[in-house]
Structure 1
């Protein structure tokens, strides 16, 4: 049994966090403006390539003493080529080359949320307001949902034979989410401008998920 990925949506239906573990086909990076900043560097839109002079555009600062033809690169940080290895995540498994699904992440995130919203509304109409949508299964995966009182939705995809992971999503909410997001004064909740990804939050979720008996 495996755990594939985690999505967190705010009450404005926007994906504010993403993380994956056992995905063999990762979505393409989102288009520019398709997702908020600080959701996940793995699926962030590609940034314009920097020139040898360190300038992203054609603008050259008058204080730049190195000519573009010098052949010297002072500092070049390519965020698209690889995600930075932070101290908290150095113990994680090395990155593996993954093929692409052919679908941009912003489109994938919308599809996942659309499925959750449609099934939740259908269950409420057919079974009454007391019934809750917690998971559904296909031949390829199983989707688990935990919704907080404030409207945040935690969605996890796993192996179809995995038992309910609703308790895991609740652990993520009452643990790392409350500690590193809600109580963090540097994180703007419901800002509609930024996601909620930060080093401690991501590392804490990674430790929690990798410590589960269903993780393999």
Structure 2
């Protein structure tokens, strides 16, 4: 048994935090404008380096008045020939066919649809806590303020609702809600910060279900 990934959605249906552990398929880079900043840096669309730092192939004169001369005619010492056979590079893990923003929307759509279906069929007192497929199990914990904590685990795992509650009552309240630098209920930025991510990672890795 193991834990794959964690999503946090706010009341505006936006994914404001993501973290993964034993995920076999790497999430694909999100499209520009498809996700909030400060959610998960590895999938946030990067700006074009040419637009950030200027074209690297053009050179401008230094403002200090100092001229640096480069002599291209100086002979270069050839690199020594490698005698040993190079080690074959490790292939990167497979990448998901969906961009991260589309993936997050699908996860939230599944949660919202199943929650509404359960409430209509069983009444408002019934709660949707998890569902299971042949490859994963989805666990849900929803706060009174509208935040939805979703974790994906191995299908054989028991209910992890208590883990989501611990994340909310522990690291989330400590490093997000009580942090004056984090804008709660914001539609412009996620809630990622170093202390929250490290504390959540430590909590999840300490579980018996985590391998």
Q: TM-score, normalised by structure 1?
A: 0.81
Q: Distance in 2 between matches of 1:192 and 1:60?
A: 40
Partner of 1:174: 169
Residue in 1 that maps onto 2:42: 42
Residue 121 of structure 1 and its aligned partner are, at CA, apart by 0.2
Deviation of residue 99 (structure 1)? 1.4
Query: Which structure has the larger Rg?
Result: 2
Structure 1 equivalent of residue 15 of structure 2: 15
Deviation larger for 38-47 or 106-115: 38-47
Q: How many residues align?
A: 188
Q: Which residue of 1 aligns with 2:2?
A: 2
Q: Show the counterpart of 1:55.
A: 53
Aligned partners of 1:10, 1:63: CA distance in 2, in Å?
Answer: 48
Alpha-carbon distance in 2 for matches of 1:174, 1:3: 20
Q: Which runs of 5+ in 1 are unaligned?
A: 71-95
Q: Which residue of 1 aligns with 2:178?
A: 183
Structure 1 residue ranges (4+ consecutive) displaced by more than 4 angstroms after TM superposition: 56-67
Q: Does 1:210 pair with 2:210?
A: no
Q: 1:97, CA displacement in angstroms?
A: 3.8
- The CA deviation at 1:158 is 0.3
CA RMSD of aligned residues (A): 2.4
Alignment of 1:192 with 2:187, yes or no, is yes
> C-alpha offsets along residues 54-112 of structure 1, whole Å, 9 cap, x if unaligned?
81468988766699x97xxxxxxxxxxxxxxxxxxxxxxxxx94210111000000000
Give the conservation status (yes or no) of the 8 Å contact 1:37–1:194. Answer: yes
